[in-house]
Structure 1
Amino acid sequence: MGCDGGTIPKRHELVKGPKKVEKVDKNAELIARWSYCALSQEKLRRPIVACELGRLYNKDAVIEYLLDKSAERPNTEVVVHIRGIKDVKELNLTDNPAWEGERSNSKGDRYEDLHCAMFICPVVGLEMNGKHKFCFLHTCGCVFSERALREVKTEICHKCGDPFQEDDIVILNGTKEEVEKLQERMMEKRAKAKASKKSKKNKPAETISKSEEVKECAASSKAGSSEPKAPTENGSDSGGSSDPGPSTSTSTSKVKKPAGAPGSKRSIQDMEEKSEAYKSLFTSHSTAKRTKDQTSNWVTHTPYHF
């Protein structure tokens, strides 16, 4: 059976078969992961930062996201775990001397090497294009290839000399399994940080409670220590009076404190250690008292007599 124009259709044009699975170009995928920001999808440019899961971002894109999280942006699920600027680390990258930039291929009359990267490993010299595993140190931010850290085993950074541990090594753009391990490590670190903050907050409260307990113990010990009871005028205790009738009300006489006891009022004129000239300065001295002839029998509002 022919169509208009006398053409004869073939079988694959009439019978619909299963759809072919679209394959992702590996080169395009590597370029997208290693040359473009995971958040803004723009080309990576300094300063470049990386999160605890090993993803690469432009620092200005992360700052814009943190300043306004309500704005509608693509790929926001990639940065959900970033709570602040402290959750990312600025990378200390080594430039590739063979990298000529974007202007070299503007004419299109020469071969374009897609695997030529902007940065390289400072130890081995491998290009950071995705074909080799790269990692960075969370302490200093220096970037190295995994081969360099595996062949040259050391606990000091090859570039800046800062010490590091195995937990400080973060793989850049790792596989799903590696990302899951990094996520577990990130959650453990955050849980430990929360626990340490709670312990620091509880320490001052514990010290305050302990000091209050010590003060209460001291006060109770002072209250518990019994002081000697002062005898009454009759020579017996206030509670031991046996006189009946109204004499019981007057049996508890006031105890007179000695003159030298603290808190007792003592006249300056009674102090033997003070001189007579010092005692004469006060109105309680005999020279300051007036006789009947010096006092007047009338009082005015503002008396000027002496």
Structure 2
Amino acid sequence: MGCDGGTIPKRHELVKGPKKVEKVDKSAELVAKWKYCALSQEKLRRPIVSCELGRLYNKDAIIEYLLDKSAERPNTEAVVHIRGIKDIKELNLTDNPEWEGERRTAKGDKYEDNCGMFICPVVGLEMNGKHRFCYLQTCGCVFSERAMKEVKTEICHKCGDPFKDEDIVVLNGSKEEVEKLKEKMEERRARAKTKKSKKSKALETVSIPSEPKGETQSQQAGTAEESSLQNGAESNQSGSAGPSGSSTSSQTIKTSTKSTSKRSIQQTETSEAFKSLFTTHSSAKRTKEQTSNWVTHTPYHF
């Protein structure tokens, strides 16, 4: 039953006040960002990639997402802006010599969250969320923000490739920094679209003038044929207007060719053996008595 034996309820037990806002453990949040994939929530393992917003992913998880975007995943909002492999960059990370992996916490006498898997190759700071880190989009090398400020150069400290301030992307930045990175990403994509449109227009302008050249060549060829036909007609007219001897000779040549074409083989001066090969020869002609009708003994032929 309760409330027996002289117990007196207190006010906070009878009146329900406003619920307290649950606070997120900062250490757990840092571990989730810096040691787990933002898409699959699995532990980060090489090869590790990052997007233009500075989030960390396993490359295998991103490839699976790109191959099948229709599959249901818990954290698809973190990868909506990724259209293809070109939108991610594989990171060139420096291993931490003090990191022992899963063996470190086998006994349970050490705290794993304070130690990072990777470090800055210039300053030696651990990449565990307590220090700000960034990477270069040109080469993918990762450095701490302190190293970039203390050693100001236009060449990568690790591989020596040149870079600009625009190529620096902060890893796991704040909301304001993520919004700025989104604006930069949209500007880059807009520039890329304009460049593609300009290239396509340039190709069109190059291909269009080539067509009139072909037309002019065909027109020139047509005019040349017309001129040759006109010249031939004029020459025929001049020949007909010439002396009668030339016209008569041409007529005799035509008649001779016609007579030779109509003349039979039996009238030519060839041997009798050659003439006997043709049906017009006398040996090929037979009388009705010599000819016989075609008779088939059986209607079947095998």
Q: Is the TM-score greater than 0.5?
A: yes
Unaligned segments of structure 1, at least 5 residues: 234-252, 258-291
Give how far 1:5 is off: 3.5
CA distance in 1, matches of 2:75, 2:206: 48
User: Partner of 2:169: helix, strand, or coil?
Assistant: strand
Instruction: Determine the structure 2 residue equivalent to 1:200.
Output: 199
The verdict on how the C-alpha distance between 1:232 and 1:63 changes in structure 2, with shifts beyond 3 A counting, is closer
> Structure 1 length normalisation: TM-score?
0.72
Sequence identity (%): 68
Instruction: Determine the structure 1 residue equivalent to 2:187.
Output: 188
User: Partner of 2:204: helix, strand, or coil?
Assistant: helix
Alignment partner of 1:42 is 2:33: no
CA distance in 1, matches of 2:4, 2:227: 127
**CA distances 1:16-53 after superposition (whole Å, capped 9, x unpaired):** 11211111111111111111110011111111110111
Instruction: Determine the structure 2 residue equivalent to 1:9.
Output: 9
Instruction: Determine the structure 2 residue equivalent to 1:148.
Output: 147
Instruction: Determine the structure 1 residue equivalent to 2:26.
Output: 26
CA distance in 2, matches of 1:86, 1:135: 19
> Structure 2 length normalisation: TM-score?
0.73
Instruction: Determine the structure 2 residue equivalent to 1:91.
Output: 91
Answer yes or no: is the 8 Å Cα contact 2:105–2:112 preserved in 1: no
| Worse-superposed segment, 191-200 or 177-186 | 191-200
Give how far 1:102 is off: 2.0
Instruction: Determine the structure 1 residue equivalent to 2:261.
Output: none
CA distance in 2, matches of 1:184, 1:20: 36
Instruction: Determine the structure 1 residue equivalent to 2:245.
Output: none
Instruction: Determine the structure 2 residue equivalent to 1:179.
Output: 178
Give how far 1:186 is off: 1.3
Answer yes or no: is the 8 Å Cα contact 2:89–2:140 preserved in 1: yes
Answer yes or no: is the 8 Å Cα contact 2:37–2:56 preserved in 1: yes
Alignment partner of 1:162 is 2:143: no
Unaligned segments of structure 2, at least 5 residues: 240-266, 282-302
CA distance in 1, matches of 2:221, 2:104: 90
**CA distances 1:63-86 after superposition (whole Å, capped 9, x unpaired):** 111111111110111101111122
The verdict on how the C-alpha distance between 1:128 and 1:230 changes in structure 2, with shifts beyond 3 A counting, is closer
User: Partner of 1:50: helix, strand, or coil?
Assistant: strand
CA distance in 2, matches of 1:293, 1:10: 145
User: Partner of 1:193: helix, strand, or coil?
Assistant: helix
Answer yes or no: is the 8 Å Cα contact 1:99–1:117 preserved in 2: yes
**Mapping for residues 227-242 of structure 1, pairs under 5 Å:** none
Amino acid of the residue matched to residue 156 of structure 2? C
**CA distances 1:181-233 after superposition (whole Å, capped 9, x unpaired):** 11111122222222323333343332221111233345557878996976999
Instruction: Determine the structure 1 residue equivalent to 2:254.
Output: none
Instruction: Determine the structure 2 residue equivalent to 1:104.
Output: 104
Alignment partner of 1:53 is 2:53: yes
Amino acid of the residue matched to residue 157 of structure 2? H
**CA distances 1:264-304 after superposition (whole Å, capped 9, x unpaired):** xxxxxxxxxxxxxxxxxxxxxxxxxxxx98479x977649x
CA distance in 2, matches of 1:197, 1:299: 81
Amino acid of the residue matched to residue 90 of structure 1? E
Answer yes or no: is the 8 Å Cα contact 1:230–1:255 preserved in 2: no
User: Partner of 1:44: helix, strand, or coil?
Assistant: coil
Instruction: Determine the structure 1 residue equivalent to 2:116.
Output: 117
RMSD: 3.3
The verdict on how the C-alpha distance between 1:217 and 1:232 changes in structure 2, with shifts beyond 3 A counting, is closer
More helix by share: 2
Aligned length: 252
**Mapping for residues 220-259 of structure 1, pairs under 5 Å:** 254-255=236-237
The verdict on how the C-alpha distance between 1:165 and 1:300 changes in structure 2, with shifts beyond 3 A counting, is farther
Give how far 1:105 is off: 1.5
The verdict on how the C-alpha distance between 1:231 and 1:169 changes in structure 2, with shifts beyond 3 A counting, is closer
Alignment partner of 1:130 is 2:112: no
Give how far 1:256 is off: 5.1
Instruction: Determine the structure 2 residue equivalent to 1:272.
Output: none
